């Protein structure tokens, strides 16, 4: 016999987005059922953002040993304990985990069911012997690593971002299939921890980013000894643990001790019974409208990776707020993607919000400009020996900010004021007029904004004539 539960809101998926919806709705007085069939915290806490940034932090410590000579500190080759670095990763996860725990959410008044969920009708979900009837459902099941159908791949041991964290022994030679953010972040981290690394990218590495920005980061990664091969399509995989061979289109091959597959992610839609619920979907996710509501079942919303859009934790959290407003208060909402920033945590970091220069050339017919400022002109960057970097800003007619691209130290932090400016409709003058503390890296934003006004002020002969006239008048 099934236990029947009636609730205001049923959230399927205990990752970042689902947890945000459940916590917010419960604290506003709604009755909430949260269903999670694997690990609370989802991919971000257990396999993605948190562990990867913890390993990157360990790798930066190792790199500091090798790169300290310019500061008068004797450089040396660090003794890396790979297992201890992975212990740091696990400690970071364990420290954050209580915030995402069953106990915390039950304390907020959320009923948590730890089981797999599947729709059994347009208005009911079954999970763990319960049938949940809800006014509204939120599908927040995230995504999983996409494993490409490369011949032979299923016969050799390979890693994904979900299994990488189980390693205890450092790979001697790591092959990474995929030159996107995940692949390159892990490539650089492992290189700095003492591994040989080769990255195979079938097309162009960091293809989503501004080409000029990406080139600076890729040059740094190559300078650190990472073999990045673009246009290198894997056609077959063979071998065994410790001796893996990846054949490439054209006849070349690469050999290594370990293989990491990082070619993208696939929305988790299978097994959810979406057809029984009349929820239209594809392998990219649930088909939703501009308010994240299913186009075919108005009881159902989808957020995060399973909504078929940008796959970032902060996007899921942003969308959670939209769903709460619409599902609980029936307020109109619009899922905006033009103001979403993102960062790639290589060193130097890459960050982006809005249009790149290439996108502006395609989308803005006329009246737009691109302005640049190099980190080499920033006093703090010079003092810290971190002058590798560039900020680019796309400005449309009338000073409207349409995009910002940054590569350099702390780019992920530096992108925030640009995201704020775009979300609030501020113009470039707001950034040019802000007072930045000196010396900070944040001055690059003020300086690039000032570059917009340089030709408008110093390139106008009438301004000089006006100054001379005023001087004669005393």
264 annotated as belonging to a binding site for a ligand: yes
384 annotated as belonging to a binding site for a ligand: no
pLDDT digits (tens, 9 = 90+) for 49-63: 999 999 999 999 999
259 annotated as belonging to a binding site for a ligand: no
Beta carbons within 8 Å of 345's beta carbon, 6+ residues apart: 52, 53, 56, 181, 185, 412
Mean pLDDT of the chain, nearest integer? 96
CA 246 – CA 175 distance, rounded (Å): 8
CA 382 – CA 465 distance, rounded (Å): 37
305 annotated as belonging to a binding site for a ligand: yes
pLDDT at 467: 78
182 annotated as belonging to a binding site for a ligand: yes
- Interior angle at CA 368, CA 367 and CA 373, nearest 5: 145
354 annotated as belonging to a binding site for a ligand: no
pLDDT digits (tens, 9 = 90+) for 177-236: 999 999 999 999 999 999 999 999 999 999 999 999 999 999 999 999 999 999 999 999
474 annotated as belonging to a binding site for a ligand: no
15 annotated as belonging to a binding site for a ligand: no
150 annotated as belonging to a binding site for a ligand: no
Q: Which domains are present in the chain? A: 3-40+101-145+266-329 (3.50.50.60), 153-263 (3.50.50.60), 341-458 (3.30.390.30)
142 annotated as belonging to a binding site for a ligand: yes
Beta carbons within 8 Å of 291's beta carbon, 6+ residues apart: 322, 326, 332, 333, 334, 335
pLDDT digits (tens, 9 = 90+) for 70-89: 999 999 999 999 999 999 99
Give yes or no for residue 353 having a pLDDT over 80: yes
185 annotated as belonging to a binding site for a ligand: yes
Of all residues in the chain, what percent carry a pLDDT higher than 70? 100
70 annotated as belonging to a binding site for a ligand: no
183 annotated as belonging to a binding site for a ligand: yes
Distances (CA, A) of 228 to 24, 106, 155, 261: 44, 47, 25, 15
Give yes or no for residue 1 having a pLDDT over 70: no
Cα dihedral 387→392→398→401 (10° resolution)? -100
pLDDT digits (tens, 9 = 90+) for 415-455: 999 999 999 999 999 999 999 999 999 999 999 999 999 88
């Amino acid at each position: 016999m099934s236990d029947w539960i009636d609730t205001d809101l049923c959230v399927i998926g205990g990752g970042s987005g689902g947890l945000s919806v459940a916590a917010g709705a419960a604290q506003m007085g709604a009755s909430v059922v949260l269903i999670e069939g694997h690990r609370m915290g989802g991919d971000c806490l257990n396999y993605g953002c948190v562990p990867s940034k913890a390993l990157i932090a360990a790798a930066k410590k190792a790199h500091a040993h090798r790169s300290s000579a310019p500061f008068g500190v004797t450089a040396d080759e660090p003794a890396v304990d790979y297992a201890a670095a992975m212990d740091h990763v696990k400690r970071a996860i364990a420290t954050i985990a209580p915030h995402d725990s069953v106990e915390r959410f039950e304390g907020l008044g959320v009923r948590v069911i730890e089981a797999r969920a599947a729709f059994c009708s347009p208005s009911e979900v079954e999970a763990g012997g319960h049938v949940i009837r809800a006014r509204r459902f939120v599908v927040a099941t995230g995504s999983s690593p996409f494993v490409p159908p490369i011949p032979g791949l299923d016969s050799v041991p390979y890693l994904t971002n979900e299994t990488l964290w189980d390693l205890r022994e450092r790979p001697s030679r790591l092959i990474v299939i995929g030159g996107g953010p995940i692949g390159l972040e892990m490539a650089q981290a492992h290189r700095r921890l003492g591994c040989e690394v080769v990255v195979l990218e079938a097309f162009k590495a960091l293809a989503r980013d501004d080409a000029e920005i990406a080139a600076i980061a890729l040059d740094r990664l190559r300078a650190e000894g990472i073999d990045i091969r673009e246009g290198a399509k894997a056609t077959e995989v063979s071998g065994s643990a410790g001796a893996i061979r990846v054949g490439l289109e054209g006849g070349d091959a690469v050999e290594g001790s370990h293989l990491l597959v990082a070619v993208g992610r696939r929305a988790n839609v299978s097994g959810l019974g979406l057809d029984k619920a009349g929820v239209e979907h594809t392998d990219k996710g649930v088909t939703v409208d501009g308010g994240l509501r299913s186009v075919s079942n108005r009881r159902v919303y989808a957020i995060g990776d399973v909504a078929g859009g940008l796959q970032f934790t902060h996007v899921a959290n942003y969308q959670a707020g939209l769903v709460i407003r619409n599902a609980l208060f029936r307020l109109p909402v619009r899922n905006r993607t033009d103001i979403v920033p993102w960062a790639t945590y290589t060193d130097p970091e890459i960050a982006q919000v809005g249009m790149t220069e290439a996108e502006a050339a395609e989308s803005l017919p006329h009246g737009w400009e691109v302005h640049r400022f190099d980190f080499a002109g920033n006093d703090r960057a010079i003092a810290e020996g971190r002058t590798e970097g560039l900020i680019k800003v796309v400005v449309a007619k009338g000073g409207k900010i349409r995009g910002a691209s940054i590569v350099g130290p702390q780019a992920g932090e530096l992108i925030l004021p640009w995201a704020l400016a775009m979300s609030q409709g501020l113009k470039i003058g707001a950034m040019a007029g802000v007072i930045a503390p000196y010396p900070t890296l944040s001055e690059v934003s003020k300086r690039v904004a000032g570059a917009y006004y340089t030709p408008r002020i110093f390139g106008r002969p009438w301004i000089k004539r006006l100054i001379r006239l005023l001087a004669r008048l005393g």
